[in-house]
């Protein structure tokens, strides 16, 4: 690797063009053999556009991988919250079950003590020794009632004990799921941080003028995709009007424009893509799933030409990004780290499909 900032970029781009190293996540930008220290003239030579385009594609890949990992992290966190709540409920049931079992045992003990005080003879024996016909008849009824009560007491004790055993098994299973979820969340967090760090490191090697040119290349790529989408004539078919809830969701999303992206965030100061859309619809009184993948899987799907403001557009084959359609071919979304909530063209990214929270 060259010792200067310009040398590092030059080496990275050379490797990209030669063996497509930039296509592999986590690849170090270093030559396989030592390279000489770049000269002053080399350090001021701007990167050609084709090399900046390779950098742009690498950054896009890294941030998309971070977005996919963010979805996994958010899903694991949501499951952990649900599992923790279930464990708390099971713990309450176990406590209640133990209290009920103690009560039943006390009743059984009281019956045993009463029998002991009567000389150890069961009620049936006392009844047979009676020489009073009426007392015999009255006692027979009490004996039958006592037998039914005893059987019921034993049956309830058995059921309560079985319930306690099942609650304990369920709690143990939830703990195992919670631990597995914790590991999944930690792995996703590590992947997110690595991808973002790699992207930031790559960007940091660019000179200021190159960063400006890179930003321009990003705009051109988005504009090209948006133009192709509009040229398809799809916007001519889109004429749906927002519902009352949809308007509220759009108003919420619009009010967040300019706030920073932060992975895993749900506002109010920062957002990730699905954090923005889920909170927008929650504010409209219609809670939806937390992650873009869950939104794609669980919400009602509609055709692109039938979408209306407030609907959510899901992007990329893995449903790793989501935005809110606001009309006139535009979306509001939280793009990626280093960016803010913004307006963009609905066709500026590959569309997987559209879902409707208030179908």
- Active-site amino acid positions: 273, 321, 333
Residue 299 DSSP symbol: S
| Separation between Cα atoms, residue 282 and residue 9, nearest integer Å | 45
| Separation between Cα atoms, residue 79 and residue 84, nearest integer Å | 8
Question: Are the C-beta atoms of 43 and 6 separated by less than 8 Å?
Answer: yes
Place of tokens 């869950």: 294
Q: In what order do the strands lie in the sheet with 351-356?
A: 300-302, 351-356, 312-315, 321-327, 330-333, 342-345
| Separation between Cα atoms, residue 194 and residue 201, nearest integer Å | 10
Residue 23 DSSP symbol: G
CA distances to 116, 254, 260 from 349, in Å: 84, 20, 20
Positions of E strands within the chain:
300-302, 312-315, 321-327, 330-333, 342-345, 351-356
22, two tokens: 């930039």
Residue 266 DSSP symbol: B
293, two tokens: 């993948």
The closest alpha carbon to 59, from 229, 189, 190, 215, belongs to: 215
Question: Are the C-beta atoms of 127 and 145 separated by less than 8 Å?
Answer: no
Q: 309: burial class by Cβ within 10 Å (0-12, 13-18, 19+)?
A: buried
Question: Are the C-beta atoms of 292 and 314 separated by less than 8 Å?
Answer: yes
| Separation between Cα atoms, residue 161 and residue 139, nearest integer Å | 33
118, two tokens: 């009567």
Task: State how far Cα 130 lies from the chain centre.
Answer: 74
């Amino acid at each position: 690797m060259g010792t200067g900032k310009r040398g590092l970029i030059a080496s990275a781009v050379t490797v990209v063009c030669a063996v497509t190293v930039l296509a592999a996540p986590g690849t170090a930008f270093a030559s396989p053999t030592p390279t000489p220290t770049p000269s002053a003239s080399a350090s001021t030579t701007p990167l050609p556009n084709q090399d900046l385009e390779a950098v742009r594609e690498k950054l896009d890949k890294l941030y998309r991988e971070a977005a996919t990992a963010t979805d996994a992290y958010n899903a694991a966190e949501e499951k952990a919250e649900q599992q923790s709540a279930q464990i708390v409920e099971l713990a309450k049931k176990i406590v209640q079950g133990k209290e009920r079992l103690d009560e039943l045992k006390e009743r059984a003990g009281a019956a045993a003590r009463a029998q002991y005080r009567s000389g150890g003879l069961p009620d049936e024996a006392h009844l047979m020794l009676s020489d009073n016909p009426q007392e015999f008849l009255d006692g027979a009824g009490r004996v039958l009632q006592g037998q039914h009560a005893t059987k019921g007491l034993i049956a309830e004790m058995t059921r309560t004990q079985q319930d306690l055993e099942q609650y304990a098994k369920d709690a143990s299973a939830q703990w195992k799921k919670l631990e597995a979820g914790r590991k999944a969340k930690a792995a996703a967090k590590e992947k997110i941080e690595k991808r973002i760090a790699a992207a930031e490191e790559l960007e940091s090697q660019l000179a200021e003028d190159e960063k400006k040119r890179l930003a321009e290349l990003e705009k051109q790529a988005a504009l090209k995709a948006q133009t192709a989408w509009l040229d398809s004539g799809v916007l001519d078919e889109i004429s749906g009007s927002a519902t009352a809830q949809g308007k509220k969701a759009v108003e919420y999303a619009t009010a967040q424009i300019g706030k920073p992206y932060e992975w895993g965030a749900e506002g109010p100061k920062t957002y990730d893509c699905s954090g923005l859309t889920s909170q927008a619809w929650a504010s409209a009184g219609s809670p939806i799933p937390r992650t873009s993948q869950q939104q794609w899987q669980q919400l009602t799907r509609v055709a692109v030409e039938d979408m209306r403001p407030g609907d959510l557009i899901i992007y990329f084959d893995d449903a790793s990004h989501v935005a809110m359609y606001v009309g006139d071919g535009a979306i509001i979304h939280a793009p990626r780290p280093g960016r803010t909530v913004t307006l963009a063209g609905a066709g500026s990214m590959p569309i997987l499909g559209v879902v409707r929270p208030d179908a």
